[in-house]
Amino acid sequence: MSRIVVGVGASHSTLMNTHWDRVEHTDGAERFRDGLAEARDAVAAARPDVAVIVGSNHFRGFWLDMIPAFTLGVGEVLGAGEAGTPKGPQRTRPDVAQALAEGLVDRGTEVALSARLQIDHGQTHAIQYVLRDLDVPVVPLVVNVFAAPLPRLDRCVALGRNLADTVAALPGDLRVAVIASGGLSHRLPWPSDWRDPHGEDEEFLVEAWLNGRGDWESYDGRRRQIITAARPVIADGFDEAFLADLERGDLARYATWTSADVEEAAGNGGQELRTWLVMAAALGFAPGRRLAYAAMPEWLTGMGVALIEP
């Protein structure tokens, strides 16, 4: 019988790759890095045959011309390679990905399919750190967390539960890791609603999101400038409470939250917490273990790592 053998939730930030030498909160940075290493060792010990990476996409593989709520990479998977993250073809399991897609649809979660999916650090950060030096193929599951309207949080929970049931029905004895990439609290210098940008920077970003297909790199320099110049907004109190709920196995309570609730509590970047809910639901909301947390203003984000073992 196939089964999910481990779940990981981990924040991501390209600034970890590009701005390490500018970090002032070195204790927090090292604590988060060590947490990623501990998560990597836990995944290695679980010996997965495949890893489902539930993550976001920061308008390097999806654009406003087409953004489904949920997308599964069922064929070729390409890393965008921005800011020192993995670039080019990634090792995949198209047979497993296609079976997951069919099983999810059968169970009531309609996922879009991509036979040539470009992912960015919303997923490759996890490949770079949580799967470091592990020869584990990946199945990317992309959740729309940036282009309103966003999928409801209870639908993300349903996705996770349906993912668990689908894995259990896979033939053979596959061991599956589920890795959630994103969060915790942060506020990106992006329009909360792409339909209502304010100021030149937000108007530029919406233009990049709309016209970036095949040309995203031409927009990336100014995008990076906008992000690195942003003022950090981190709700460490929320992050601590969220991780405590994970440890108690109580993340299901966030299924009743709205997108407005998430943004008020954790910022617009906190919408990525949907990926953690998918992962936790796939693990049956079993009690987990916090591996690290650090509020990192240099990386604009509350950086957390947690582990759930069935």
Both structure tokens of 107: 């169970």
Q: Please say whether the beta carbons of 258 and 159 come within 8 A.
A: no
pLDDT for residue 22: 87
Residues 55, 183: Cα–Cα separation, whole Å: 10
Flag whether pLDDT at 266 surpasses 90.
Answer: yes
Q: Where does the pLDDT of residue 289 fall: very low under 50, low under 70, confident under 90, or very high at 90 and above?
A: very high
User: pLDDT band at residue 21, thresholds of 50, 70 and 90?
Assistant: confident
| Nearest to 15, CA basis, from 205, 278, 230 | 230
Q: What is the mean pLDDT of the chain?
A: 96
Q: What percent of the chain has pLDDT over 70?
A: 100
Split at pLDDT 50, 70, 90, the class of 178 is: very high
3 state SS of 140: strand
DSSP-assigned letter for residue 150: P
> What is the structure's pLDDT at 224?
87
Q: Looking at 128-142, 206-220, 285-299, which range is the least confident one?
A: 206-220
Percent of the residues in the chain that have a pLDDT greater than 90, as a whole number: 87
Query: Minimal CA–CA distance to 67: which of 209, 190, 188?
Result: 209
DSSP string, 177-231: EEEEE--SSB--SS-SSTTS--HHHHHHHHHHHHH-TTTTHHHHHHHHHHHHTSP
With cut-offs at 50, 70 and 90, classify the pLDDT of residue 220.
confident
pLDDT at site 259: 97
Q: Which helix (H) or strand (E) holds 121?
A: helix 121-129
Helix (H/G/I), strand (E/B), else coil: 111: coil
Instruction: Give the C-alpha separation, 144 to 272, whole Å.
Output: 9
pLDDT digits (tens, 9 = 90+) for 58-99: 999 999 999 999 999 999 999 999 999 999 999 999 999 999
Whether residue 230 has pLDDT greater than 90: no
Q: What is the pLDDT of residues 24-38, one digit of tens each?
A: 989 999 999 999 999
As assigned by CATH, the class of the 3-308 domain is: alpha beta
Q: What pLDDT score was predicted for residue 191? A: 86
The span from the CA of 13 to the CA of 85, in Å, is 10
Global confidence as pTM = 0.96
> What distances in angstroms separate CA 192 from CA 155, 186, 207, 268, one per listed residue?
21, 12, 15, 6
